[in-house]
Amino acid sequence: MKILHGINCHSYVDDLESDQQNHDNGMNQDRKRGRPATLQDKNGRPMPVRADRDRPVNWLFALLRHRPDFEDVLQFSGDERFFRLYDALHDDAYRNTSPGTLCRRFGISLQDLVDVWREYNSLLGQMYMSTHLPQIMRDVTNNAMSRDVVCPRDVTD
């Protein structure tokens, strides 16, 4: 306490010191005990406490769930977690369980789902390009060869 002109008041420094001591002691009165407000997945992405309310996972499943190649991605991924997810999505015992809950139960993050889907599409694109690679290389080679040709003249009025 500092006394200034006969008035008792805390100085600004004393207030900061007491706030720092309360913070250092772990005394946070604003936070309620119990569950945290948000969780983080293994990649640090914030996610809700309830897995069925994880909007990005729900959006991804809404886009991909009924695509026939999504089932192929899960089956041919080579990862046991995706095998279990595929089996659970086709098991009647889990028909009322949200895909987000299944993913959390099997340890699959949103990043894992996106990575396996991206890798599948990348490989599919490479296979498609590989079938057309001889024609692409032929066209590039023909276009790269030097020629003596008069450039077309642009006639504008």
User: How many angstroms separate the most distant Cα atoms in the chain?
Assistant: 99
Rounded Cα–Cα distance for residues 92 and 33 (Å): 37
- The parent domain of residue 78 ranges over 39-130
What predicted TM-score, i.e. pTM, was given to this entire model? 0.57
- For range 96-123, the mean pLDDT: 87
24 in a structural domain: no
| Total structural domains within the chain | 1
Q: Is residue 47 within 8 Å of residue 35, measured between CB atoms?
A: no
34 in a structural domain: no
105 in a structural domain: yes
60 in a structural domain: yes
**Model confidence over 36-69: pLDDT tens digits?**
556 777 777 777 677 677 788 888 888 887 887 8
- For range 98-107, the mean pLDDT: 85
Does the pLDDT at position 28 exceed 60? Answer: no
- For range 31-36, the mean pLDDT: 62
pLDDT value of residue 16? 46
Q: Is residue 15 within 8 Å of residue 7, measured between CB atoms?
A: no
114 in a structural domain: yes
113 in a structural domain: yes
140 in a structural domain: no
123 in a structural domain: yes
